[in-house]
Amino acid sequence: MSEERPLQTVSQVQSTHPSAQVSHLVRRAMSFFETDREAAWRCLNDASNLLGRESDEPSLELRAPADAPRRGGLPKWRSKQVLAYIEDNLGSKIAIGEMADCVALSKSQFSRAFKQSHGFSPMTYVATRRVERAKLMIASSRERLSDIALACGFADQAHLSRYFRRIVGISPGQWRRSVARLTSASHPA
């Protein structure tokens, strides 16, 4: 059995590197997961916001091609508004209608404009963000994949595995093992 480290205080975490802060927030969320879901969601939301601050640009998988024309796409303010809505609601069911309502467009107008602005459909973006959040949680905790799947907005572990394999190319379990190997190789005992 591995010995668990005590959670750090907020002031200790704030003085550390952003990736350490994210790791701490995810560990805290996982400790709250069974007892206080609201606190767990707040921790995950804070971790997600920190990740967004580390890089104001979305990750490579989520970035529209640089030469993609924005004509017919969402205005930047609406795009930011819907992306913030998606981040805030990643752990729950998100429907096209809810995203469209967030920016006062019809479902078809919204879907077309989102794809024009970002290069892929809104639901593809949501699935990719959920997988990225799952990757963060898998890398920074020993929580069961089924719990991580639920925390990231997937219906169950099979749902997570299907999307994870589609986006990352390997299963979540294989990815966890490869991250563990890389971590142990970079931090010899």
Query: 18-63, pLDDT tens digit by residue?
Result: 666 767 767 776 666 566 666 666 777 677 666 655 444 444 444 4
- The yes or no reply on domain 57-184 and CATH 1.10.10.60 is yes
Taking every pair of Cα atoms in the chain, the longest distance, rounded to a whole number of angstroms, is 57
Query: Measured in whole angstroms, how far is the alpha carbon of residue 128 from the centre of its chain?
Result: 8
Alpha carbon separation from 73 to 64, 97, 99, 118, 168 (Å, rounded): 12, 17, 15, 8, 27
Is 103 within 8 Å of 74 (Cβ atoms)? yes
Q: Which residues have CB under 8 Å from 65's CB, separation 6+?
A: 119
In percent, the amount of the chain with pLDDT more than 70 equals 64
d(CA 159, CA 170): 14
Confidence (pTM):
0.63
Q: Give me the residue spans of the domains in the chain.
A: 8-56, 57-184
Cα distance between residue 175 and residue 135, in whole Å: 8
